[in-house]
Amino acid sequence: MSEQRSAQWYAGGGKDPYIHRAWMRRGLPAHAFDGRPHIAIANTASDLTPCNMHLDEVAAAVKQGIWEAGGIPLNLPVVSLGETQVRPTAMLWRNMAAMATEEMLRANPIDGVVLLGGCDKTIPSLLMAAASVDLPAVVIPGGPMITGTFRGVPLGCGTSTYRLSEEVRAGTMSREEFLASESSMIRSKGHCNTMGTASTMGLVAEALGTTLPGVAGTPAPDARLLEASHATGRLAVELVEADRRPSTILSRGSFLNAIVALAAIGGSTNAVVHLLAIAGRLGIELSLDDFDRTGSGVPLLVDLQPAGRFLMDDLHRAGGLLAVLREVRDLLDPTALTVTGRPLVEYLDTPRIWDPEVIRVRAEPLQPEAGIAVLYGNLAPRGAVIKPAAASPHLMQHRGRAVVFDSIEDFHARIDDPALEVDADSVLVLRGCGPKGYPGMPEVSNMALPAKLLAEGVRDMVRVCDGRMSGTAFGTVVLHVAPEAADGGPLGLVRDGDPIVLDVAGRRLELDVPAAELASREQSPAALAGYAAPMRGWQRLYIDHVQQADTGADLDFLIGGSGHDVGRESH
């Protein structure tokens, strides 16, 4: 019994263990405290996180598995972030959710944890917490919804919303038709069915080795998700018995494998900031350049929206992530482990591609090189990223005049002004949207195009921003510019009409203005000030301590981990 961490609370005959046991005897039998592992189920189910509403059902299946394996399951509701609901942006609270979950895992008498996430920020925050507290942990991704259709056409969550709303602005679709599609967009429980951030992070969690292999991407309504959840509950008990913790499983190779997977599936650029933050919690060296070195030459094999045609339930029926990884097996670190204790590559012998239209074979990729590209230059001294798979080939080398917006409010107020001096070759620049400036780094980088250009048939332009964009979005968008304008970055020096040069092949993002002139300019006051900087609460703490996108936008005092020891008794 003394071998279990929970025994520090429950073992012995004195007053303190009596209190701990007695208050838990609300259905738990006496033998629940005889040395069995106590497993928390960190559950992000919430009615205000629509994509995670079904996780109570998943938790019930996990509980059955834990009981069956001889453990004690304990539901632990944790901070949940609904990407579509919370303002000003869910990213503002990713670090808070990670910190709160970490503290609750450390403070409570548990020996291991099952992490239930779905919507964009929930899996990253849970993994950040688990990495810092370093208790045995395993992830269950909540899974994508099944595809809805509108007038016979499959709808991709987010992606179709952007496309249809632009058609309304272009005058090619009525607002009534647009609104009529609303009830068809979300057909079932689960997260977005495109290769957005939620789908990406579920699959990346598996590539990291933190899920039961083969689970990620299982549609939320699929009964096999509950079967896998039961099996994961059993595995959680095994993890405790084997003392298999994040620090013993995750390595630099694990993260490089995740980067390969990110490129092969055409995953969201948001995975960059999340993987950097998770690695930072573990003390594993990972940089922005690793995404370019390891991932940029990887072929895009998955034909999913927004980079392709199909949707997540198609990926699942076509063979899933393991079938994709089998095609790039030679690029993976063969020593990187999974939560089962076995290397990831050992699970790649039997998976097959059942639909070569959805999952391409290595010799016939959707794009030969489609991983995240990292750009540098006088406009992004610490880097910026672009997702070539979602961009327009004809814009990957481009020179255009800047049209500058100091905030998203400024952008909305002026983008459709007929008098705005903009053409198809212009570069839209949006600043004041970084971690400090918004605050929270919102998904606004894929700016809507000017209505007058949409009416002319223009459907893409080069856009540059210090914020993020939804993984469901598309376009030639340079984002995560670091340092951001509100942190004194050169994005705050750009003026209307300045020539901007984008050269993705050359990995350059340059403001073609003489250095002497730039040195004489002052930062844009609006961009530097940020958005109504709050004077209290989490937002104040966040602004004072958040780091830049190139290192994961974590808080400076949360880098690394503190383990799971709690030295003092509570009574």
Nearby residues of 195 by Cβ (< 8 Å), 6 or more positions away = 265, 266, 267, 268, 302, 304, 305, 306, 307, 312, 471, 472
Look up the pTM and report it: 0.95
Q: What is the CATH number of domain 36-147+187-347?
A: 3.40.50.2300
Convert the pLDDT of each residue in 532-557 to its tens digit: 566 789 999 999 999 999 999 999 99
* Same CATH fold assignment for domains 36-147+187-347 and 373-533: no
- Nearest in space to 266 (alpha carbons), one of 563, 60, 471: 471
What are 485's two structure tokens? 């304008």
H-run or E-run covering 540: helix 537-545
Whether residue 65 has pLDDT greater than 60: yes
Indicate the pLDDT class of residue 530, thresholds 50, 70 and 90: low
Neighbours of 3 (CB within 10 A): 11
**Which segments of 209-352 does DSSP mark as H helices, in order?**
223-242, 246-249, 252-265, 270-282, 288-295, 312-318, 320-327
Convert the pLDDT of each residue in 450-471 to its tens digit: 999 999 999 999 999 999 998 8
Q: How far apart, in whole angstroms, are the C-alpha atoms of residue 522 and residue 525?
A: 8
What are 363's two structure tokens? 């010799």
Contact (CB, 8 A) for 32 and 72: yes
For residue 456, give Cα distances in angstroms to 168, 460, 547. Answer: 14, 12, 41
Q: What is the 3-state secondary structure (H, E, C) of 416-462?
A: CCCCCCCCCCCEEEECCCCCCCCCCCCECCCCCCCHHHHHCCCCCCE
Contact (CB, 8 A) for 298 and 370: yes
- Find the radius of gyration of the CA atoms of the chain: 24
396-415 mean pLDDT = 96
List, as one string, the DSSP characters of 30-92: GGGGSSPPEEEEEE---TTSGGGTTHHHHHHHHHHHHHHTT-EEEEEE-----TTTSSS-GGG
What are 171's two structure tokens? 């005058």
Peptide bond into 439 cis (omega under 30): yes
Mean predicted lDDT score pLDDT of the chain: 94
Q: How far apart, in whole angstroms, are the C-alpha atoms of residue 315 and residue 207?
A: 15
Convert the pLDDT of each residue in 75-87 to its tens digit: 999 999 999 999 9
Helix or strand or coil: residue 463? strand
CA 395, 273, 260 angle in degrees (round to 5)? 70
Indicate the pLDDT class of residue 306, thresholds 50, 70 and 90: confident
Q: How far apart, in whole angstroms, are the C-alpha atoms of residue 505 and residue 394?
A: 12
- Nearest in space to 436 (alpha carbons), one of 511, 534, 524: 534
349-359 mean pLDDT = 97
Indicate the pLDDT class of residue 230, thresholds 50, 70 and 90: very high
Q: What is the domain partition of the chain in residue ranges? A: 36-147+187-347, 148-185, 373-533
Helix or strand or coil: residue 550? helix
Q: What is the 3-state secondary structure (H, E, C) of 499-537?
A: EEEEECCCCEEEECCCHHHHHHCCCCHHHHHCCCCCCCH
CA 196, 202, 204 angle in degrees (round to 5)? 95
Whether residue 23 has pLDDT greater than 60: yes
Strand partners, 39: 73, 112
Q: How far apart, in whole angstroms, are the C-alpha atoms of residue 474 and residue 387?
A: 9
Q: How far apart, in whole angstroms, are the C-alpha atoms of residue 38 and residue 81?
A: 26
pLDDT of residue 533: 64
Neighbours of 292 (CB within 10 A): 20
- Nearest in space to 346 (alpha carbons), one of 358, 360, 357, 336: 336
Helix or strand or coil: residue 218? coil
Neighbours of 345 (CB within 10 A): 18
The amino acid occupying position 503 is D
Phi, psi (deg, nearest 5) at residue 349: -75, -40
Helix or strand or coil: residue 397? strand
pLDDT of residue 2: 41
Contact (CB, 8 A) for 288 and 272: yes
Lowest mean pLDDT among 135-149, 160-174, 265-279, 493-507: 160-174
- 373-533 folds as Glucose Oxidase; domain 1 (3.50.30)
Region label for 166, one of left (φ > 0), alpha (ψ between -120 and 50) or beta (otherwise) = alpha
Helix or strand or coil: residue 388? helix
H-run or E-run covering 112: strand 112-117
What are 224's two structure tokens? 């096999």
* Chain center to CA of 221: 22
What are 483's two structure tokens? 């340092």
Q: For residues 137 and 561, which has the higher predicted lDDT (pLDDT)? A: 137
Indicate the pLDDT class of residue 1, thresholds 50, 70 and 90: very low
